Amino acid sequence: MRNAFANCLTELAKSDTSLMLFYADIGNRLFNNLKEIAPDRTINAGIAEANMASMAAGSAMMGQKPFIYTITPFTTARNFEQIKIDIAYQNQPVIIVGTGSGLSYANLGPTHHSFEDIALMRSLPNMNIVCPADSDELSVLMPQLIKLNQPCYFRIGKKNEPKVHKILPDLKFGHAYTMQEGQTVAILATGTIMPLAHDLLIELQSKGINAELVSFHTVKPLDTQYLALACERFEHIITLEEHNVNGGFGSAVLEYISEQPKTPRVHRFGIPDRFIDQVHSTEDARKKAGLTVLDIITTLKNRAVI
Amino acid sequence: MNLEQIAAKIRYTLCDVSSKTKTPHLGSSLSCTDILTALYWQVLNVEPSTPSMPSRDYFLLGKGHAASALYTTLAYRGFYPVADLYQHGQTDSVFEEHPGINSPKGVDTVSGSLGHALSLATGMALTCKIQKRTNRFYVLMGDGELNEGTIWEAAMFAAGKQLSNLVAIIDFNKLQGTGESCEIMHLEPLEEKWRAFGWHTIRLDGHDILAISDALKGAQSYDKPVCIIADTIKGKGISFMENDNNWHYRIPTQDEVEKAKQELGLK
């Protein structure tokens, strides 16, 4: 997904001179093409993420539409207060890109995991949050975020994420995208966890449950129009994310649904409220976190959902 | 009215507004009054009737708790009436205790959390270089503010990019919120520190308006960012406030305001 990001930005920056990139000394060679077409606008900010966030806000105040880019914890948590004051409060159109989100860098340990970033960004007024599931979702949504001209958090993966759509999806910022219509149970997933959500759908189908699968690429603003209807249509809503179950996408869904007149049960699946360490791969880490089809099915059985 | 007289009027108004609106940080505001006077009457390309003039110079207040000093300077410079200052800190007032997004005309950025302004200005200065614009950027920071790590991130970056359109001014009054700044952290030798970070540095008396003006004008001739270290006195101009850190938070009584007025030579 990071290659798709670099390619997409390079293409868009050719004609839009307001676009510029600040990156915190990562992505060796990733931005070479961008540097060629826009050397002045491709800025290595050094390993100084707090300064990078404020500089991008300053740049936006001068009329640019900057991106800031580094590994997720360093572009969201390390510099959170700069994002709060200089980007969100001053409402500057900076797109904060978190690469390698969730468990993408599982083997690098908790320093490189991000299970708190959505919670942090959700708590900021003016902030939009978009989590593409694959490179197609990224390339469809990115021009829309630029056009939005508002603070935005763009939570992306690492590389070689499996494609989740057969054709380029017609995604609209702020609108949930239904990949498979169903009844009784809805699976709402955001970001790189989508292939697992798809596997879960297949498993439920094999058990005779006609579930719905939805890509909730936009976490904020939450598509309450979809959710309001979902409250009428479903008895159970399953949320899936590579983020702490507390404070993330599932929490956002739960908060909304809890205040509706008809409330389906919400089953949140994500990272349990603990650090995940001593793992070799994303797959390992998901197992440790209980993020497997088997674990989810077991929980759903225990809760008499299926 | 000469510059010293302007500064004296600003100082009196600071005391009176603080007393009447019960808003603190008088010591910090008095400390930087002469620097602001030099900037707004001698250096900055700003136009009170057109505060958003695209070619203007930008002033960023790092030490946001000295908001009153900035508001009062802008009032005397003609951005809005001095009488408006008495809304300071009141409900629905644009004169918030720390400058917010609804700040009065002439205030470009939010302040209050220390260590943001130099980074913001660095991004602005870099962008104007890319856009081939001639605006200049001036940042005023407290010595306590230099405790913040982002200052040094920005200092390294700005020097690396040779941002000659950027000037940092340190209001070096040797006192921060709860103690002596050189004891709380190892600040000195400050000139050498900034020089080592790649800046041209100048040290001067932060209450000599002419010297500050000359240094700020001269800063335009360097091919790198310039840091002016201004030795100042917290509470400057009012004998019973000078170097007394209680005036970081204390509010003067009206009797004390009258005493201050006399000391400042105002009738």
* Reported confidence tier of residue A9, pLDDT bands at 50, 70, 90: very high
Residues 156..175 of B with a Cβ closer than 8 Å to A: which?
A: 156-157, 160
Q: What is the pLDDT of residue A299?
A: 98
Domains of chain B (ranges; CATH) run 3-263 (3.40.50.970)
Q: In this structure, which long-range contacts are made by residues A198-202, counting pairs with CB atoms below 8 Å and at least 24 apart in sequence? A: A198/A164, A199/A293, A200/A238, A200/A240, A200/A293, A200/A296, A200/A297
Put simply, the answer to whether A61 touches B128 (Cβ < 8 Å) is no
Nearest to B123 among A46, A50, A56 (CB): A56
The DSSP output letter for A245 is T
Q: What is the pLDDT of residue B1?
A: 86
Put simply, the answer to whether B156 touches A48 (Cβ < 8 Å) is yes
Q: How far is the C-alpha of A99 from the C-alpha of A102, rounded, in Å? A: 9
Q: What are the CA-CA distances from residue B1 to residues A259, B41, B45, B49, B78 (Å)?
A: 64, 12, 20, 21, 14
Strand partners, B60: B139
What confidence tens digit (pLDDT) does each residue in A230-288 have?
999 999 999 999 999 999 999 999 999 999 999 999 999 999 999 999 999 999 999 99
The strand pair at B200-205 and B58-61 is best described as unpaired
B121 touching chain A per CB within 8 A: yes
**CA distance to partner chain B, nearest, from residue A53 (Å):** 8
Residue of B nearest to A50 (CA): B150
Alpha helix locations (H) across chain B?
3-21, 26-31, 33-38, 67-77, 117-130, 149-160, 181-184, 190-196, 209-218, 254-263
Would you state the torsion angle of the CA atoms of residues B1, B4, B10, B11, taken in this order, to the nearest 10 degrees? -140
Question: Chain A residues with CB inside 8 Å of B154's CB?
Answer: 51, 54-55
A190 and A285 Cβ atoms separated by less than 8 Å: no
**CA distance to partner chain B, nearest, from residue A125 (Å):** 14
CA torsion through residues A59, A39, A36, A49, sign: negative
Residue of A nearest to B152 (CA): A51
B130 touching chain A per CB within 8 A: yes
Q: What is the count of residue pairs from A and B with beta carbons less than 8 Å apart?
A: 89
**CA distance to partner chain A, nearest, from residue B70 (Å):** 19
**CA distance to partner chain B, nearest, from residue A37 (Å):** 14
Q: What is the pLDDT of residue B247?
A: 94
Q: How far is the C-alpha of B253 from the C-alpha of B31, rounded, in Å? A: 20
Put simply, the answer to whether B110 touches A89 (Cβ < 8 Å) is yes
The amino acid present at A264, given as its one-letter code, is P
Question: Chain A residues with CB inside 8 Å of B108's CB?
Answer: 61
Residue of B nearest to A81 (CA): B113
Question: Chain A residues with CB inside 8 Å of B130's CB?
Answer: 20, 40-41
Q: What is the pLDDT of residue B267?
A: 80
Put simply, the answer to whether A20 touches B108 (Cβ < 8 Å) is no
Q: How far is the C-alpha of A94 from the C-alpha of A81, rounded, in Å? A: 15
pLDDT higher than threshold 90 for residue A225: yes
Chain B contact probe: residue of A20, A21, A62, A90 with most B CBs at under 10 A: A62
B61 and B140 Cβ atoms separated by less than 8 Å: yes
Question: Chain B residues with CB inside 8 Å of A41's CB?
Answer: 130
A209 and A235 Cβ atoms separated by less than 8 Å: no
Nearest to B116 among A43, A85, A91 (CB): A85
Predicted confidence pLDDT, tens digits, chain B (267 residues): 899 999 999 999 999 999 999 999 999 999 999 999 999 999 999 999 999 999 999 999 999 999 999 999 999 999 999 999 999 999 999 999 999 999 999 999 999 999 999 999 999 999 999 999 999 999 999 999 999 999 999 999 999 999 999 999 999 999 999 999 999 999 999 999 999 999 999 999 999 999 999 999 999 999 999 999 999 999 999 999 999 999 999 999 999 999 999 999 998
Global pTM reads: 0.97
Put simply, the answer to whether B156 touches A89 (Cβ < 8 Å) is no
Question: Chain A residues with CB inside 8 Å of B109's CB?
Answer: 61, 90
Q: Is A268 helix (H, G, I), strand (E, B) or coil?
A: strand
Nearest to A48 among B120, B125, B157 (CB): B157
Instruction: Kindly state the tokens that stand for B2.
Output: 């000469």
B109 touching chain A per CB within 8 A: yes
User: In residues, how long is chain A?
Assistant: 306
Put simply, the answer to whether A89 touches B123 (Cβ < 8 Å) is no
Place of tokens 């509470």: B235
Place of tokens 């960004």: A121
Domains of chain A (ranges; CATH) run 2-155 (3.40.50.970), 177-302 (3.40.50.920)
Instruction: Kindly state the tokens that stand for B142.
Output: 């407290």
Strand partners, A214: A178, A188
What confidence tens digit (pLDDT) does each residue in A173-207 have?
999 999 999 999 999 999 999 999 999 999 999 99
B128 touching chain A per CB within 8 A: yes
Please determine, for the modelled complex, whether the ipTM score is greater than 0.90.
Answer: yes
Put simply, the answer to whether B130 touches A40 (Cβ < 8 Å) is yes
First to last CA, chain A: 35
Nearest in space to A95 (alpha carbons), one of A19, A29, A173, A24: A19
Q: In this structure, which long-range contacts are made by residues B49-52, counting pairs with CB atoms below 8 Å and at least 24 apart in sequence? A: B49/B78, B51/B79, B51/B105, B51/B106
* Reported confidence tier of residue A3, pLDDT bands at 50, 70, 90: very high
Question: Chain A residues with CB inside 8 Å of B116's CB?
Answer: 54, 82, 85-86
What confidence tens digit (pLDDT) does each residue in A131-165 have?
999 999 999 999 999 999 999 999 999 999 999 99
Q: How far is the C-alpha of B43 from the C-alpha of B41, rounded, in Å? A: 6
Put simply, the answer to whether B119 touches A59 (Cβ < 8 Å) is no
pLDDT higher than threshold 90 for residue A28: no
Q: How far is the C-alpha of B123 from the C-alpha of B134, rounded, in Å? A: 15
B110 touching chain A per CB within 8 A: yes
Question: Chain B residues with CB inside 8 Å of A58's CB?
Answer: 119-127
Put simply, the answer to whether A54 touches B154 (Cβ < 8 Å) is yes
The mean of the pLDDT values for chain A is 97
